[in-house]
Amino acid sequence: MQLPPIGLGTMGIEDPDTIATALECGYGHLDTAQIYGNETVVGEGLARSSVPREDVIVATKVWADSLEPDAVRRTTEESLERLGLDGVDLLYVHRPIEAYEPERTLPAFDGLYEEGTIDGVGLSNFSISELETAADVLEAPIAAHQVEYHPLFQPGDLLEHARENGYPLVAYSPLANGRAGEIEAVVDVAEAYETTPEAVCLAWLVAKEGVVPIPKASSREHLEANLEALELELASEDLERIDAVERTEELFPE
């Protein structure tokens, strides 16, 4: 699936006007989830915007307690009702835990894909072995894999798998959950470029082939600033310096 280079993570966004403003600013990829409790907010924001629906990739996720086949269909229909849409571009398995059973869960996603209710099957928070199993079971291609990715947590093995298999790696919490300004290497690079640590984190991720960060932002200022990070090109030595950050701190483990 071809995704814009930066999308909008919507977890915690409670105002539809924020979504409409994001679309006005140029965001073309909105990421929500059943468990976020704000699909209605995202849908209302879409409805308030003048941006054509076909110009926006809308993604949501089925939570772990709804991964039995009947529950996948039922909760997806509920998600579509909340979003005010007939279908979504990308539907993820949010986490392969609880009710997740590859041989039962994934054919339900295939069914939604085959009938055109969704344009792509996404996976989220999968390990390499879980990705391999899913690829064997799914008839649809893996459209995207969404994982935590920032300077403090760099799952290089998952990026390699994504590149080898031709799907994008969608990076959530790309600003290290508000800790970008605490990472020495990131701060030093930001000072050298006279920009913010947040912009550096995003530019670093965008520079990685196949990675699509989805930062959350609520104000127009931050929404615009995140997109402006696309114009920041870091030198190879600066990219390598951030690559070398101690990367063992997963902020959102299972």
Query: How far apart are alpha carbons 17 and 53 in whole angstroms?
Result: 16
pLDDT digits (tens, 9 = 90+) for 207-243: 999 999 999 999 999 999 999 999 999 999 999 999 9
Q: Which of the four pLDDT bands, split at 50, 70 and 90, describes residue 249?
A: low
pLDDT digits (tens, 9 = 90+) for 111-169: 999 999 999 999 999 999 999 999 999 999 999 999 999 999 999 999 999 999 999 99
**Looking at the domain assignment, is residue 202 inside a domain?**
no
Host domain of residue 72:
8-182+211-219
Residue among 51, 71, 66 at smallest CA distance from 8: 51
Do 70 and 35 form a contact (C-beta atoms < 8 A)? no
**Looking at the domain assignment, is residue 126 inside a domain?**
yes
**Looking at the domain assignment, is residue 226 inside a domain?**
no
**Looking at the domain assignment, is residue 230 inside a domain?**
no
Please enumerate in sequence order all residues whose Cβ is within 8 A of that of 207, keeping only pairs 6 or more positions apart, or say none. 233, 234, 239
Say if residue 252's pLDDT is above 70. no
Query: How far apart are alpha carbons 59 and 89 in whole angstroms?
Result: 6
**Looking at the domain assignment, is residue 25 inside a domain?**
yes
Say if residue 79's pLDDT is above 80. yes
Q: Which of the four pLDDT bands, split at 50, 70 and 90, describes residue 246?
A: confident
CATH number at residue 129: 3.20.20.100
Considering the entire predicted model, what is its pTM?
Answer: 0.95
Q: Which DSSP symbol is given to 35?
A: G
Query: How far apart are alpha carbons 160 and 193 in whole angstroms?
Result: 29
Return the SS3 of 151: coil
**Looking at the domain assignment, is residue 231 inside a domain?**
no
Please give the pLDDT value at position 250. 66
What is the set of active-site residues? 36
**Looking at the domain assignment, is residue 199 inside a domain?**
no
